[in-house]
A = this chain, B = another copy of it.
């Protein structure tokens, strides 16, 4: 598995896991229809509690990134992924605005910020190419 946690981070484990799986989808390491480990197996592999995994899966299910079939297991949503909702845009703005404000204070230009985003964009997209 390509998943590990940063226990120094202030982000909760279940949020980190949710994000790692979304990054996996964005980089096409995880594709529609791909199976994910059961909550119990993944918990064992990663050395965390079953409920922590389940919490992350519930978030992903609610947002439409994965499907959970009663006893067949967990799969990356085969029917495609959610659109750009207003909820998502609001979340992005709430988290991005402080970062951009601080970047401005520290003297970054619009070009600097654009470059930073572009770099991250490609970094995420081409994560499956390395290794």
Q: Which of A58-105 contact B (CB under 8 A)?
A: 65, 81-85, 88, 91-105
Number of copies: 2
Q: Determine if A118 and B124 form an interchain contact, defined as CB atoms under 8 angstroms apart.
A: no
Question: Majority SS of interface residues in chain A?
Answer: helix
- Tell whether A26 is near chain B: CB-to-CB under 8 Å: yes
Q: For the complex formed, measure the closest distance between the CB of A124 and the CB atoms of chain B, giving whole angstroms.
A: 5
**Interface size for chain A: under 10, 10 to 19, 20 to 34, or 35 or more residues?**
35 or more
Q: Determine if B101 and A19 form an interchain contact, defined as CB atoms under 8 angstroms apart.
A: yes
| Chain B residues with CB under 8 A of A23 | 97-98, 101
A105 to B9, CA, bound (A): 24
| Chain B residues with CB under 8 A of A114 | 114, 117-118
Residues of A within 8 A of B (CB): 9, 11, 19, 22-23, 25-27, 65, 81-85, 88, 91-108, 110, 113-114, 116-118, 120-121, 123-125
